[in-house]
């Protein structure tokens, strides 16, 4: 059946969109080297002019082996999903930005996929013709590729030289939501290519 492939593609795209929006997309984690933390603590406790205090604290640090500490301590960790970002923006009273993120990454993609599904299932008539025009109009506002590029930029920014300051080593990692959303993007693009919208003159 000719319509089976586009319908299956739309249903897979919808199934991938839900975890793509709700699952963590990006995790940013900042870690501090333990030996650097001990050294910074000594510098903060001892004034620059007070050499004796600094010397005493350095000796105590060496005696207790604080200068030879190995490993890292987690100082900052934030995991973000698309829906979680929308909620956080709304909670911080950034309603316009929250609304735009929700509109272009949740509402428009869902509406477009549902309209494409209806378009595939109904016979050709005046309503189907109008629906096709609406789908073509929505396609211009989907911004799926822009969203994926924004995620990549966020990933690279988080990993910028792998560091933030002298103490905190920043690390960024894509979550399951990113891969689900990427899968949704691919299937949504495939669905758009498989569905032949009737031209206006027909």
Q: Are 171 and 31 in contact (CB under 8 A)?
A: yes
Which two structure tokens, joined as six digits, stand for 128?
Answer: 């189907």
The confidence score (pLDDT) of residue 192 equals: 86
What pLDDT, in 10s, does the model give residues 58-108?
Answer: 665 566 565 565 666 666 677 888 888 888 888 989 898 888 888 888 888
Calpha distance 151→132 (Å, rounded) = 30
H helices present in 23-143, as ranges: 34-45, 51-63, 82-91, 95-102, 108-121, 126-139
Instruction: Summarize pLDDT for 26-59 with one digit per residue, the tens.
Output: 887 777 766 665 566 656 555 555 666 666 656 6
Residue 202: per-residue pLDDT: 44
**Once rounded to an integer, what is the mean pLDDT over residues 148-165?**
55
Give pTM, 2 decimals.
0.72
Q: How far apart are CA 117 and CA 12, in angstroms?
A: 11
């Amino acid at each position: 059946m000719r319509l089976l492939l586009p319908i299956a593609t739309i249903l897979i795209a919808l199934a991938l969109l839900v975890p793509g929006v709700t699952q963590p997309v990006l995790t940013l984690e900042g870690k501090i080297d333990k030996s650097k933390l001990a050294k910074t603590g000594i510098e903060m406790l001892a004034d620059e002019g007070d050499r004796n205090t600094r010397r005493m604290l350095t000796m105590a640090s060496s005696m207790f082996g604080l200068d030879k500490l190995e490993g890292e301590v987690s100082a900052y960790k934030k995991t973000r999903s698309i829906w979680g970002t929308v909620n956080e923006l709304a909670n911080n009273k950034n309603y316009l930005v929250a609304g735009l993120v929700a509109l272009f990454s949740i509402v428009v993609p869902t509406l477009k996929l549902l309209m494409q599904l209806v378009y595939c299932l109904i016979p050709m008539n005046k309503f189907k013709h109008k629906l096709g025009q609406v789908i073509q109009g929505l396609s211009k506002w989907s911004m799926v590729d822009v969203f994926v590029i924004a995620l990549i930029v966020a990933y690279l920014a988080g990993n910028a030289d792998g560091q933030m300051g002298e103490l905190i080593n920043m690390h960024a990692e894509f979550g399951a939501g990113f891969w689900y959303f990427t899968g949704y993007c691919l299937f949504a693009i495939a669905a758009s290519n498989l569905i032949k919208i009737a031209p206006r003159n027909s």
